[in-house]
Each structure stands twice: as structure tokens, then as C-alpha cells.
A and B are shown apart, each in its own frame.
Chain A
Amino acid sequence: MNLLVMYDRQTDSLWSQLLGKAVRGPLEGTELEYVPALMTTWSDWKARHPQTQAIVKGYKGNRDSYASYYASQSAGVIGETRIDDRLQTKQFVIGVDTGLATMAFPFSVLNREPVANAQVGELPVLVVFDAGNANGVAYSRRVGDRVLTFESASNDKLRDLETGTLWNSFEGDAIEGPLAGERLDRVKSSIVFWFAWKDFHPETAIYEAGR
């Protein structure tokens, strides 16, 4: 198992990328603040944020040194040290971490159910998935005192069954209806291979369709 370790130049502490936490050194135990992001295609991001900038690459087109790795069966650099065959090793999942409980949402399930109303530990969670752009995010379904249940309304929009409010799927803001102006809170999530997720979160639950 295996995932990137980073160090910081100021204290030389070692940090786990997936945990967002220092695991060795003077800052051991310190957690980084999580900044919500959206992993998607360039055209989709640009449509959402016309004023966006993009990092200069210095070359043209799509080049990824891991391209063959994504498609291969190999798991990380040293292979798997702990087997958990509830899912296939290289299955992509959206891993959701509430801080108290974790759940993996397999792409294979999200393909069929792109709006998933779930319960992760004590927290009601919504995962929204866009198969075309392989893009997915997680929110808390709590808004004020309410717990909401979402369904797909139209392209890129959601409607909650409790109030009928219309929401933007990937921005999480309410645009029309009784809750207009509200915004769903993002929950920490990562798009990650199953083998890495289950190693860091051996107790993870797995989302099953239609629950």
C-alpha cells in the first residue's frame, strides 16, 4: 500500500497526502485544513468558471506519466500488503471522510446512481457524480435543522424532496425555491483507488445502491 508522502521545507515533517496529516517529525499529528476542489475536465471547469486561470504546462495536449499505471493491475509501488476484496483493487471510488466515519462510493455504483443519499456514521451525506467528466463531490445533507433528500432535477441540478428547492449539483448552492441562498457544506472526499482507500481506512463502509 502506498501513497505519496510529502515533506515541508520549514520543519522537515513528513505528511501523508491522503490523510492530510503529519505522520512524522515536529508537526506529527497536525492536520491540514481541507480545501474543497473539483476534479473534472478542462472544458467542464472552464464552463463553470469562465474567469479561471490554468497552470502553464509548457507543452501541448494531454500527457500523463501514469497513464499506463491507471489501466494496469499493479497497486502502488510495493503492491498490496493487506487484501480487502470487497471491491477490485483498482476500482475508483469516491472516499468520504466525515472525521468520524468513512464510506467508499464505487464509480460502478455511482454510474447507475449518480445522486446518492447516504448515511456515513452519524452524518447524512450526499454524493453527486458526473460520469462524463468522472467528477464527483460530497456534501452534508443537513441544512439548518433539516435533513434533505436529493434527486436529479435536470442537467447539473438537484431538487430536494422536502422543500422542492433547486440546487446546483457541483457548486452546492440553492438557486430557486424556499431555501434559495443556502449552500450545502462540502464533506471531505477524494477520488482514489480502492486499494489505497481501504489501507488508510480499513474500517470503511461501502455504499450500496438504493439505500
Chain B
Amino acid sequence: MNFRVRFLTFTAAAGILAACATSPESGTTDTTDPQPEYDIITLLPKDAIPSIDRPRFFSAQEADAEYDADEVVIGVEINGDARAYSVGLLSSHEIVNDNVGGRPIAVTW
């Protein structure tokens, strides 16, 4: 149903999303989760933090040369296609646009 959206290419950081000071105050705890209104504050121009659009991959054995055992990764597996994305690398790029197991996805940090 979000077919069109799934083919978007994301790129990083036009800015940050900030909740307006008038976010709802109320005593309810469950039911729906009312969203505050958002202000967007632009800190950096678009693409100042460059997304990775053409990621290259190692096999698990090759990757051991670059990855420490305790290095934090975001792992995704779709239709048997498993991929790991270094969180340290994501800190510098925020977004990887990739195709995993036949599905276009964005991995964001």
C-alpha cells in the first residue's frame, strides 16, 4: 500500500525535528498516542551528512578484517538475505539506502 514510498531514496539531515512547546498535556495514559506538533529546525543543509546510496558489502569472513567482535551493528534479514550495518559508520552517514532480499529499505541511525 505504501508502494510508492518504498522506492524513495532517503538522504540525511535537513535538520532536526523539535516538538513544539505546546505539546499536549493530559492525564490519559493508554488509548491513542496523540502526537505533539513539530517544529523543524534546520541545522545543516541537505546532504551535509551524505547518505550511502551505493553500499558495498563484504562476506562475513572478509568483514572480520574491518569489524571488531564487539562492534555494534544493525542487522537485517529479508528473504534469507542477511546484512549488517556498522553503527559507527552510520553515525557518519545517518542513512544507508539499500536493497535487501528484493526490498528497497533505508537503514537509519
Contacts and interface: CB of A to CB of B under 8 A. Distances in A.
A72 interface: no
A57 B9 CA distance: 20
A13 to B, nearest CB: 8
Given A14-B40, A27-B5, A45-B84, A4 B34 contact: no
Given A17-B108, A37-B75, A54-B83, A5 B29 contact: no
Contacts of B26: 203
A100 B33 contact: yes
A77 interface: yes
Given A56-B55, A64-B88, A66-B91, A8 B17 contact: no
A35 B87 contact: no
A138 to B, nearest CB: 15
Given A38-B74, A41-B73, A81-B21, A56 B58 contact: yes
A154 interface: no
Contact of A77 (B11, B31, B43, B73): B43
A148 interface: no
A9 B77 CA distance: 26
Sorting the interface of chain B by its residue count into under 10, 10 to 19, 20 to 34 or 35 or more gives 35 or more
Given A54-B83, A63-B88, A24 B40 contact: yes
Contact of A6 (B18, B31, B108): B108
A65 B10 contact: no
A7 B11 contact: yes
B71 A200 contact: no
Interface string B76-94: 1110101111111101101
B70 A50 contact: no
A134 interface: yes
Nearest to B56: A56
A205 B73 contact: no
A101 B31 contact: yes
B30 A39 contact: no
A55 B28 CA distance: 44
Interface of A: 1-11, 14-19, 23-24, 27, 30-33, 35-43, 45-46, 48-66, 76-78, 81-82, 97, 100-102, 121-122, 134, 199-205
Interface of B: 2, 5-19, 21, 23-26, 28-36, 38, 40-41, 43, 46, 52, 55-60, 63, 65-78, 80, 82-89, 91-92, 94-96, 103, 105-108
20 contacts: A1-B17, A1-B19, A7-B11, A7-B14, A27-B5, A33-B2, A35-B105, A43-B69, A45-B84, A46-B84, A54-B67, A54-B73, A55-B58, A61-B68, A78-B16, A78-B18, A101-B30, A101-B32, A201-B33, A202-B36
